[in-house]
Chain A
């Protein structure tokens, strides 16, 4: 049972426009959420995170929004650039077992068209 879902496997956006990547989760005990970016043949790299006590976190062109009541988070990239083309994973931290564990979504492949 997938606790963290990224329902869009791929997304294409024109350069300069906004990219919105979505992520839904089912466990209300998740306390921390992260977005990672992954290029082919490389490991994921950390992009931005948000604590469950906040609803927005911004870092340059990247903003993450958290809607706890809907159990939904989204990553906005404005403006999108061709170098943003990658697979994006959202992840949630699960503290219910007493130790921290991360649950990842299946990823969304973003393609930014020049």
Chain B
């Protein structure tokens, strides 16, 4: 079974703090993604990566950065947390299999920025 783990289930941070969210997958997947989920807005893509050291901006990258130094690990960084970054953060990984590709999600990190 594919396993995607996220470093924390719940986090409380203060405005202006630097926040690191870690995601690890154990299936040697090439592709990794960070989303945030907000009520009424669904899942929105922040950043994704198709290989080590590669990153692509998603739909809402502002205020975030990412790091992928190893294939199994994809980190999301909030350089200076703000209250509007309070959200549920979901990491996903996938492997491309021709026309079919399925994303596997971690359990999520609920971040509260005060």
Residues of chain A at the chain B interface (Cβ within 8 Å): 4, 6, 9, 31-32, 34, 36, 41-46, 49, 51, 89, 91, 93, 99-107
Please name all residues of chain B whose beta carbon is closer than 8 Å to the beta carbon of A45 when the two chains form the complex: 105
Say if the beta carbon of B44 comes within 8 Å of chain A.
yes
Please name all residues of chain A whose beta carbon is closer than 8 Å to the beta carbon of B44 when the two chains form the complex: 104
Q: Which interface class (under 10, 10 to 19, 20 to 34, 35 or more) fits B?
A: 20 to 34
Give the complex CA separation of A32 and B44 in angstroms.
18
The 10 closest A-B pairs by CB, nearest first: A43-B105, A106-B42, A104-B43, A104-B42, A46-B102, A44-B105, A43-B107, A43-B106, A43-B108, A107-B42
Please name all residues of chain B whose beta carbon is closer than 8 Å to the beta carbon of A104 when the two chains form the complex: 35, 42-45
Say if the beta carbon of B74 comes within 8 Å of chain A.
no
Q: Which among B33, B96, B99 is the interface contact of A102 at CB below 8 angstroms?
A: B33
Please name all residues of chain B whose beta carbon is closer than 8 Å to the beta carbon of A51 when the two chains form the complex: 99-100
Please name all residues of chain B whose beta carbon is closer than 8 Å to the beta carbon of A31 when the two chains form the complex: 99
CB pair A49–B102 under 8 Å, yes or no, is yes
Please name all residues of chain A whose beta carbon is closer than 8 Å to the beta carbon of B58 when the two chains form the complex: 101
Give the complex CA separation of A103 and B60 in angstroms.
12
Say if the beta carbon of B75 comes within 8 Å of chain A.
no
* A and B contact pairs by CB, cutoff 8 A, 26 listed: A4-B42, A32-B99, A34-B103, A36-B105, A41-B107, A41-B108, A42-B107, A42-B108, A43-B4, A43-B90, A43-B107, A46-B103, A49-B100, A49-B102, A51-B99, A89-B42, A89-B43, A91-B43, A99-B48, A100-B96, A104-B35, A104-B43, A105-B42, A106-B40, A106-B41, A107-B42
Please name all residues of chain A whose beta carbon is closer than 8 Å to the beta carbon of B100 when the two chains form the complex: 32, 49, 51
* A32-B101, A49-B102, A89-B43 known; A101 vs B108 contact (CB < 8 Å): no
Q: A32-B100, A36-B105 are in contact. List 18 more A-B contacts (CB 8 A).
A: A31-B99, A34-B103, A42-B107, A43-B92, A44-B105, A45-B105, A51-B99, A89-B43, A93-B101, A100-B31, A100-B96, A101-B45, A102-B45, A102-B103, A103-B59, A104-B43, A104-B45, A105-B42
